[in-house]
Structure 1
Amino acid sequence: MTDRRLIEAGFPCHQVGGETRRERDSGLAPPTHRLHVWWARRPLTPSRAAIAASLLPEDTDAGDFIKALGIEKKVVELPGGQWVMIGKLAERLEKQGGMEALKVDAVVTRAFDKEQLRRAKKRGIIATLKAYSPELANHPVVVRWEQESQPLGQIHEGEYLSIKRVMGDPAHTNERIEFKKRPDVRSALGKELSWDPEDLYGYGRAYQNDHSTVPSGLTVLDPTAGGGSIPFEALRLGHNVIANELNPVASVILFATLDYPAKYGKELHSDISHFGRKLVEKVHAYIQDYHPFGITLCQSEKQRLDEHLAENADFIAQFNKEEIADYLYCRQVTCPSCKAKTPLLNTCWLSKQAKDPWGVKIETSGSGASARYRFETYQAKNGLGPRGENLEHGTVKRGIGQCVHCQQAIPGDEIKMQARGESQYGQWQDELYAVVAIRHQPKLDRQGNVQRFASGPRRGEIKTEKISFFRPPNQHDQDALAAASDTLQANWARFDDQGLIPTEKFPQGNDMRPVTYGVDQWYKLFNDRQLLGHLTAMETLKQLKPQILRELGDERGRAVITYLQFAIDK
């Protein structure tokens, strides 16, 4: 056989693999991957590479192939090396006679000066490494890094700099990342070493970069398409696609990823937005009473606001309100020793953010079966509570609880029995123990005056900053939860008659922990208010379907309904 393809000979695995690692580890998965959960998502870069390399001849230039994948940098060639165009510089490029160029102005000059300073800093770090040991001095990463950190030749305002597209080198970038972790490097530099990931790669993620697409006339068949990465990249390469999948969830994902965008394009976005707003408005009108909104601040946050606006008291009333961001729940069980109710928390941390750490503590009162407890939230200091409490300690560890009243252990088997409702002490309960909220307050200038926008569409409006905080649940929260439970029970039959409640038994499988802890039916994964919200959204979309199909037609309407269903599912 003489007609060999690139994938059979000379395929650049190291570079494709390097970019694949970046795509999977970035925390910025491609939008197709965030459309709907699918457990066998294939990264886009190697999918594209596999398709292209299966069709290109074996003598294809590897560098051109890698650039065609989106692994390429835009650079200016100057005496001393290449100046890589990243961030806002890349957005300033202009087309001149089919070529790309960068006009040097004050902004570009400032960026160039920063690049020269950055290179000077890197040369200082490199000198430290070289002086530390001969091994580091001769290490290939250091040698190449030094070559790429030389001072650049000068540029002049008003001139145009020609842009050249060169192959990126993710394999080497990963080597640098690993090099930074070496113990001798850390020992040599301490905290001095700081590399910006974008400085290292020099280009955006390959799947995001511009790809020229020319219809090829070829057809790519994927008989087990799954989440659709391979057929998606085949379409982007200009090929016709036939994708097949037996799993019904994956089939719907394929329609939403491949078929609907190809048929309707960006115009579908306005339809989704229009009916999405209708859906949200209807759902919000029904469930807003079960989610307290705009209530006044708790005492501690009101005090912080008062202190912030001490010289601007007229603004306090305007900003004395909170917005709920999230609710945190734990389980409440009955202690078999003292018969009192006690919470199960595996940690007392609420947030470990370095600039704003928060914790929760449990205050108890009374004794015996009538003992009570309450939660208090606070801002942690130096990783400790207000009385030096260790926030890592909770009231349950490795499945064994500890009563907050009598301090006796609660066996794991007893907790499981209470979870399933099989214990003589009753069934455990969901308990709201902290509310995550935000508030806004005016920004102040150095003189303590409230800042306002001086120009633009928001001219005259107050500039604000967002403050996140945690507070214990109050009566408004408890009343809302109780009202949601009452409403759910009152409407249970209606929801169930429509087949909306997932009452199916939890299936046998490898991980039966949900069943062990009482979740033997799917709907039990949610508390009453969560379930009410989900069911209301599902019912509302069901009610909207006839209108969507009537206004958009069957095919386009089904597309919009599919995306709205995905939104609810997420």
Structure 2
Amino acid sequence: MVQVKSPRKLIEVALPLDDINVAAAREKSIRHGHPSTLHLWWARRPLAAARAVLFAQLVNDPGYQRELGYGVNKKEAEIKREKLFQIIRDLVKWENTNNEEVLNRAREAIWESWRETCHLNRNHPQAAELFNPDKLPAFHDPFAGGGAIPLEAQRLGLESYASDLNPVAVMINKAMIEIPPKFAGQPPVGPLPEGEKQQKMMENWAGAKGLAEDVRRYGHWMREEAFKRIGHLYPKVAITPEMVSERPDLKAYEGEELTVIAWLWARTVKSPNPAFGDVDVPLVRSFVLSSKKGKEAWVEPVIKDNNYRFEVRMGLQPAGAIEGTVKRTGATCIMSQTAMPFKYVREEGKAGRMGERLMAIVAEGTRGRVYLSPTDEMIQVARSAQPDWKPEHKLPVNPRDFKTPNYGLNTFGDLFTPRQLVALTTFSDLVQEAREKAIADAKADGLPNDGQGLAQGGSGATAYGEAVAVYLAFVIEQVANHSSTVCGWNSANTQMRSVFARQAIPMTWDYAESNIFCSSSGSFNNLFERMIKGFVALGCGHPGIAQQADAAVQDISSHKVISTDPPYYDNIGYADLSDFFYVWMRRALRGVYPSLFATMAVPKAEELVATPYRHGGRDKAETFFMDGMTRAIHNMAEKSHPSFPTTIYYAFKQSETQDGSTTSTGWVTFLEAVIQAGFSIDGTWPVRTEKQGRVIGNGTNALASSVVLVCRKRETNAESISRRDFQRQLREEMPEALETMIGGQTGQTPIAPVDLAQAAIGPGMAIYSKYEAVLNQDGTRMSVHDALVLINRAITEYLSPDSGSFDADTQFCSSWFEQYGWSAGQFGEADTLARAKGTSVDGVKAAGVAESGSGKVRLLKWSEYESDWDPTSDARTPVWEACHQMIRRLNNQGESAAGESLAKMPEKGEAIRQLAYHLYTLCERKKWAEEARAYNELIGSWHAIVAASHDVGHKNEQRGLDF
């Protein structure tokens, strides 16, 4: 078999990781114009990270010619690599998402690399099939989920394929990559809403603009039609003279009718006290409605005549008022103060005795929110709603992520009020009516009438009407996420919370029922407008195809570039969660995609999640995950295009890294699956893709980073090596890989110390995983866990001042700092350590980095160093002193001043940087946050510091020439 000549890709060597992380973190706060507003998906990858990873996966590293024995030298390669880094820096900026100039530079670099690869393989027997210089390989994501990666592959110029077992994920990907290119440039066909003026004849309908406009027009019609049918269930609230007499603050609104934003309800159970056995007492976390300064409001339960009523009060809740009736330990009856343990509440709920009571009304006034006490009219209107359908599908018995079945809310239909069910079913039915209208209007507008729908691959009038229906159905999903009894009220920002504030369905005690016909958060209009803005970030160039397929057996990946974001062990149960949306999506779109919505619920059995309740225990769940993930990844390894590495995201939890060792169950299991599947791992890049502090469920840690694994298919004739040989190769190969990561000699942006420990695992795992096995002395196979321990040890040894590349004073300071930090220690101990390192206490004192007296020795902090220090006149300048002087100047005077110092001692640059990495790692391990931050900031500013030092050098050279 002829070997494919496959140049190393940029992602296998180096990345401007800090720039990618900054852009990814920024993107998480963008809410308008982001394609994620089309439909919610859990733990979606930022577009910036997906775009950067794909680009680096597709372009050749400039140093690949050296590997083949010709071309650029090391320094030239780093200069060319920096140019690719600059493309990535521009590419990841949110404002450049649709910047064609930036995108074209990236596409040109991809094409250039592809043609180089084709040239190298021009004599390969499969050259015509695999290496066509006029056509880029297609892309495939077999765990497509929220669609970020396929969308970015399409944006970079590749034909994009997306597949997933989950029908909801498939529909999201169809909406992202498949439908928009079908109708790119199509002007709208629907009639304008009444009162709107016709656009100019030369309106630009490029890309998905026309489709988005039609979704807007038919969505407006749908909303108006729904109001005609069920608007009576959402009445305004009249401010009567009687209200004003009790609440003078309402005087400005007397005689007006205000639009209700939300009705706030409290769940209830029967009082456990026999004296009040007929009273339904409230379960409320907090009676505070608004905690905004100057606009405080709260609810007081007024107890009278063996019952109670709710009254809204303005101002701060006074001391002694009932703050709430539910705490972490259980609930309390407001009538008798009798404790109501959660066991009692659960029994009441399961017996069908849990009810609800209107607690307050939130209305929109000209000067902000208006909080009103409940009225009989509002209660009667809510009770009058009579839904003719509700989803009867059972909620899973998953105690970690689904809490409502504990309290008798067992079906998805139980999560909605009757009024919410009427609204959602009405809108679902209107999707079908809008579809028929759009088809008729498209025919009248001249679109071909081929009778073929989207499921048949159609692109005429029928398919266009169905395309509009898909996006309108997505609005129903968004409304459902904001119209459920799981939606709480946020008193801090006086808005309602959505169902999926977390990747779970929790139990709520008091909840907010939104008015879907208002314009505030959670309403149809608000969610609809956000969704329409999301169209602008969709790619409409190259075709895209989304299909339902099991990753373990699909054949779509054949000869394609693969990047994917598979399930993470047991972190998120996508199938169970997405049933919440599936029940509504199926009702609205079953006629459009009958085979996709053939099942009553999302397929569960094949989903690759280590869920103990589904598989009969944790051990069986882990075995299921390991076997299934290995099959799925093996399928990728066998089918992926041989010229490109495969990139696989793993959502890494910070808590999984302890004492410098990354050895959690999920992480190790995942690495084992990748290696057993036939891949070698060439890189592990930590991309911070999640907000700090996010939670996915009670007792579950936040997903802090995605580690991107860079994988190549392992050679079929790979041999085994001994543990000793593995350790030798780590010592020989890790230093150069680490040097490249921390920036080389050119001032290239280094990986921040916070990310180095994870990124540096890549080169070590590349050594471990390219062999059939690494064998211990007794002949047993070395585990991934043990390999990680040795890799981490090699990283520590390289960064340590004891590695032999540092002066004796620095070695002493490092060891003393590790033991005492900035505190003082005994002179005798310091003297012994100094002698062992080949220096003396007097020597380090003379160097200006320590003080000694009264039998004590203490290292000086950088703030205590001499302010007029000049390395050119310092007779004794250990790297330790140079590093901390740089920190002092950076903190006090900025990057330019630090650059001036570096210009006077350029030979110390590499050692300073290496020491900063080592000290960051040490401080992080000891939880010295302030010190760790200083070293991380020095590395983060290194690129600018080096540039400033070069400017100083050039100026000095010019002065010499002028002289």
* 1:430 to partner: Cα distance: 1.7
Letter of the 1:33 counterpart: S
Paired residue total: 381
Q: Report the counterpart of residue 299 of structure 1 in structure 2.
A: 244
| 1:539/1:533 CA distance change after superposition, 3 Å | same
Question: Does the 8 Å contact 2:288/2:298 carry over to 1?
Answer: yes
| 1:329/1:27 CA distance change after superposition, 3 Å | farther
Letter of the 2:288 counterpart: W
Q: Report the counterpart of residue 503 of structure 1 in structure 2.
A: 392
| 1:409/1:302 CA distance change after superposition, 3 Å | closer
Residue identity over aligned pairs, in percent, reads 26
Q: Report the counterpart of residue 428 of structure 2 in structure 1.
A: 538
- Higher-Rg structure is 2
Q: Report the counterpart of residue 411 of structure 1 in structure 2.
A: 341
Give the TM-score normalised by the residue count of structure 2: 0.37
Q: Which has the higher contact order (CA 8 A, sep 6+)?
A: 2
User: Could you list the runs of 5+ residues in structure 2 that have no partner in the other structure?
Assistant: 63-78, 112-134, 184-207, 443-460, 479-963
Q: Report the counterpart of residue 140 of structure 2 in structure 1.
A: 222
Letter of the 1:467 counterpart: G
Cα distance between partner residues in 1 of 2:212 and 2:31: 22
* 1:374 to partner: Cα distance: 0.9
1:330 aligns with 2:266: yes
* 1:542 to partner: Cα distance: 2.8
Q: Report the counterpart of residue 362 of structure 2 in structure 1.
A: 436
The within-5 A match list for 1:57-96 is 57-59=60-62, 61=80, 63-69=82-88, 71=90
* 1:270 to partner: Cα distance: 2.2
Q: Report the counterpart of residue 4 of structure 1 in structure 2.
A: 8
1:21 aligns with 2:40: no
Q: Report the counterpart of residue 267 of structure 1 in structure 2.
A: 210
* 1:509 to partner: Cα distance: 2.8
The within-5 A match list for 1:276-295 is 276-293=219-236, 295=238
Letter of the 1:540 counterpart: L
* 1:296 to partner: Cα distance: 2.9
| 1:207/1:296 CA distance change after superposition, 3 Å | same
Q: Report the counterpart of residue 471 of structure 1 in structure 2.
A: 372
| 1:234/1:475 CA distance change after superposition, 3 Å | same
The within-5 A match list for 1:332-351 is 332-337=268-273, 338=275, 339=277, 340-351=279-290
Q: Report the counterpart of residue 560 of structure 1 in structure 2.
A: 468
SS at match of 2:368: strand
Q: Report the counterpart of residue 193 of structure 1 in structure 2.
A: none
Cα distance between partner residues in 2 of 1:502 and 1:211: 49
* 1:8 to partner: Cα distance: 1.3
Question: Does the 8 Å contact 1:70/1:206 carry over to 2?
Answer: no
| 1:372/1:61 CA distance change after superposition, 3 Å | farther
The within-5 A match list for 1:148-163 is none
1:400 aligns with 2:338: no
User: Could you list the runs of 5+ residues in structure 1 that have no partner in the other structure?
Assistant: 73-167, 169-202, 309-315, 441-465, 496-500
SS at match of 2:267: strand
Cα distance between partner residues in 2 of 1:70 and 1:380: 50
Question: Does the 8 Å contact 1:30/1:207 carry over to 2?
Answer: no
Cα distance between partner residues in 2 of 1:302 and 1:334: 31
Letter of the 2:137 counterpart: T
CA RMSD between the two structures: 2.7
* 1:54 to partner: Cα distance: 1.5
Letter of the 1:556 counterpart: Y
**Residue in structure 2 matching 1:234, options 145, 153, 164:** 153
Letter of the 1:471 counterpart: L
The within-5 A match list for 1:129-148 is none
Letter of the 2:395 counterpart: F
Cα distance between partner residues in 2 of 1:47 and 1:255: 18
**Residue in structure 1 matching 2:384, options 483, 496, 504:** 483
SS at match of 2:49: helix
The within-5 A match list for 1:204-215 is 207=97, 212-214=102-104
Question: Does the 8 Å contact 2:311/2:374 carry over to 1?
Answer: no
Cα distance between partner residues in 1 of 2:337 and 2:354: 18
Give the TM-score normalised by the residue count of structure 1: 0.62
SS at match of 1:322: strand
* 1:419 to partner: Cα distance: 0.9
SS at match of 1:39: coil
* 1:477 to partner: Cα distance: 0.6
| 1:341/1:294 CA distance change after superposition, 3 Å | closer
1:525 aligns with 2:415: yes
1:378 aligns with 2:313: yes
Cα distance between partner residues in 2 of 1:518 and 1:395: 20
SS at match of 2:349: helix
Cα distance between partner residues in 2 of 1:30 and 1:301: 45
Cα distance between partner residues in 2 of 1:36 and 1:223: 19
* 1:64 to partner: Cα distance: 4.0
* 1:70 to partner: Cα distance: 5.5
**Residue in structure 2 matching 1:569, options 460, 474, 477:** 477
1:372-418 deviation digits (Å, cap 9, x = unpaired): 1111112233xx33xx3456x31111262211111111232221111
Letter of the 1:221 counterpart: F
Q: Report the counterpart of residue 145 of structure 1 in structure 2.
A: none
| 1:478/1:52 CA distance change after superposition, 3 Å | same
SS at match of 2:302: strand
Cα distance between partner residues in 1 of 2:329 and 2:214: 49
The within-5 A match list for 1:34-183 is 34-59=37-62, 61=80, 63-69=82-88, 71=90
Q: Report the counterpart of residue 171 of structure 2 in structure 1.
A: 252
* 1:221 to partner: Cα distance: 1.5
* 1:283 to partner: Cα distance: 0.9
SS at match of 2:257: coil
Cα distance between partner residues in 1 of 2:55 and 2:395: 43
Cα distance between partner residues in 1 of 2:6 and 2:405: 59
**Residue in structure 1 matching 2:303, options 361, 364, 374:** 364
